[in-house]
Structure 1
C-alpha cells in the first residue's frame, strides 16, 4: 500500500470501528451509514467510491485493480498458487496464472543464471 493511502485507510478503519457491529468484520468495505450499517458494501457502491476517489486524484481506478495488485503481491512474495487461487475464488488455476508476471529483474536473473552455467 502506498504511503499516501495509509492515513486515509487508518481513518476509515477508525471510523468503521465506531459503527456498532462493524468491529472485527472481515470486509474492507462496509456501510458506515444508511439502512445497513456494518454490512458489506455492494460491489456497485464500492466501485463508485473507488472511482470517485480516483477521479479526484486524477486517474482512473476500480476495485479490481486493488484485487489484481494484492494477487500480484501475494504471488511475488511466495504465497502458494493454490492458496492464492482459493483466496481469489478461482475455480481454475488458469485464471490465477494471469498474476504470474515476469519482471525485468526476473528476466535478467534468468539470463545471468544461464550465462553462468549455474542451471546445470
Structure 2
C-alpha cells in the first residue's frame, strides 16, 4: 500500500471511530476490506484513487465472485468501499463515487431462529437450583429474555445501571448509543436473588468490580462465557441443536409480536435505528401463523 492510500485509510478509520462511533470490531472489518481493495488496485497498476472508475469497480466485483466469496461477504466489501469513497468525496479528495451505482448481489434472507414458549420453559427449568451458579444462570436467562438486549450489552451491565423501582436497565449499545430497557417481575426477582445469594459467593472475596454478571472465578462474565452457559442449559434441557445468545433476542421480539405488540414499540425496545431491521420478525410471526394454520385447519 503506497503512502497516499495509507494516509487516506488512517483518516477514514479516525472518522469512523470519532464521528460515527463505530465499534472496534466494525472498524477492523472496514480496514481489512479496504486493504484487500488496495491490493487489487496495486495488482491492476492503478496508482491513484482518481483513476478508479466504474469499470474498475465492476472488475473488482467480478474478482470477488471468482474467488468464491459468499453473497453476504461480497455485499459487505462493496459497502465498505462505497462508504470509503463517500468519505473521500466529503473531504473533496475525489469528485465521484465509482461504487455508488454498482449493484450488490441480492442476499438470501434467512429468518431468525427463535425458541417457542414451551422451549423457553424447558430452559428455565434447566436453571433450577439453589447453588450460586444456578442462581446466576437463572438471572442471566431472565434478563436476556426479558429485555432482548445483545450479549455484548448484557455482559457490560453494571450494578448502578439497574433500577429495581422502575424495572429498567441503562444499556450502551452499538455505536455507543445508550438506551433504557424494561424488565418484568420474573427477571427482577431472579436478579435480586442472584445479587443477594450468589454474586458475593462467586466473587470469593476477590476485589469487587462494577459488573452485574460474574463467572465461576469471580471475574466479569464475557461473551464467550455466556455462550458456554447457554449451551450447557441446552444440554440439560435436552433440546436439540446449539444456542446462540442472539436467539434469545430473536425470541424476545417474536414473542412480543405474537402477543400483539406493535412493530414500532419492538423497534424501540431492540434499539434498532431502522424499522426495516425489525420487520424481519414479521416474517417470522407470519410463518408461525402459516404453520399453525396448516397443522390445525381441517381443509388446509
Give the TM-score range, shorter chain. Answer: 0.5 to 0.7
Residue 4 of structure 1, CA deviation: 2.7
Q: Does 1:98 align with 2:261?
A: no
Rounded Cα–Cα distance in structure 2 between residues aligned with 1:70 and 1:32 = 24
Which structure's relative contact order is higher, taking Cα pairs within 8 Å and 6+ residues apart? 2
Partner of 2:256: 74
Aligned residue for 2:226, secondary structure, equals helix
Rounded Cα–Cα distance in structure 1 between residues aligned with 2:235 and 2:292 = 34
Residue 94 of structure 1, CA deviation: 0.6
Rounded Cα–Cα distance in structure 2 between residues aligned with 1:16 and 1:86 = 28
Rounded Cα–Cα distance in structure 2 between residues aligned with 1:60 and 1:73 = 20
Aligned residue for 2:272, secondary structure, equals coil
Residue 66 of structure 1, CA deviation: 1.3
Pick the aligned partner of 1:43 from 220, 223, 226.
223
Partner of 2:123: 5
Q: Which runs of 5+ in 1 are unaligned?
A: 21-28, 109-120
Partner of 1:87: 269
Rounded Cα–Cα distance in structure 1 between residues aligned with 2:214 and 2:253 = 25
Query: Does the 8 Å contact 2:123/2:234 carry over to 1?
Result: no
Q: Which protein has the larger Cα radius of gyration, Structure 1 or Structure 2?
A: 2
Aligned residue for 1:30, secondary structure, equals coil
Query: Does the 8 Å contact 2:231/2:243 carry over to 1?
Result: yes
Aligned residues: 98
Partner of 1:30: 213
Partner of 1:115: none
Q: Which runs of 5+ in 2 are unaligned?
A: 1-116, 130-134, 136-189, 201-211, 295-300
**Alignment RMSD (CA, Å):** 3.1
Residue 90 of structure 1, CA deviation: 0.9
Residue 85 of structure 1, CA deviation: 0.8
Query: Does the 8 Å contact 2:230/2:243 carry over to 1?
Result: yes
TM-score w.r.t. length of structure 2: 0.28
Residue 70 of structure 1, CA deviation: 1.2
Rounded Cα–Cα distance in structure 1 between residues aligned with 2:217 and 2:265 = 35
Residue 32 of structure 1, CA deviation: 5.5
Aligned residue for 2:242, secondary structure, equals coil
Rounded Cα–Cα distance in structure 2 between residues aligned with 1:51 and 1:106 = 28
